[in-house]
Amino acid sequence: MKKPLTIEKAVRILAGGLVLVSVALAVCVNAWWLLLAVFVGCNLVQSAFTDFCPAEKIFAKIGLKP
């Protein structure tokens, strides 16, 4: 039985994907792309303390369940 995609899982997939893309772009293009990974990490930390995550709001608007 397949479990539905929840907001929490979608946020994890998005964050992990952005970090992987950031590292790949830093290796292939320019090291400044690592700033994207830093931004993702900072956003994850601030959302843990403030309970505000822009990605959660977007995923909720497109219809994902909590």
Longest dimension (CA), the chain: 43
Confidence of residue 34 (pLDDT cuts 50, 70, 90): very high
Instruction: For residue range 46-63, list pLDDT tens digits in order.
Output: 999 999 999 999 999 999
Cβ 65 vs Cβ 4: under 8 Å: yes
Confidence of residue 3 (pLDDT cuts 50, 70, 90): confident
| Alpha carbon distance 21, 27 (integer Å) | 10
Whole-prediction pTM: 0.88
Instruction: Sketch the domain layout of the chain as residue ranges.
Output: 7-60
What's the confidence (pLDDT) of residue 30?
Answer: 97
What one-character DSSP code corresponds to residue 52?
-
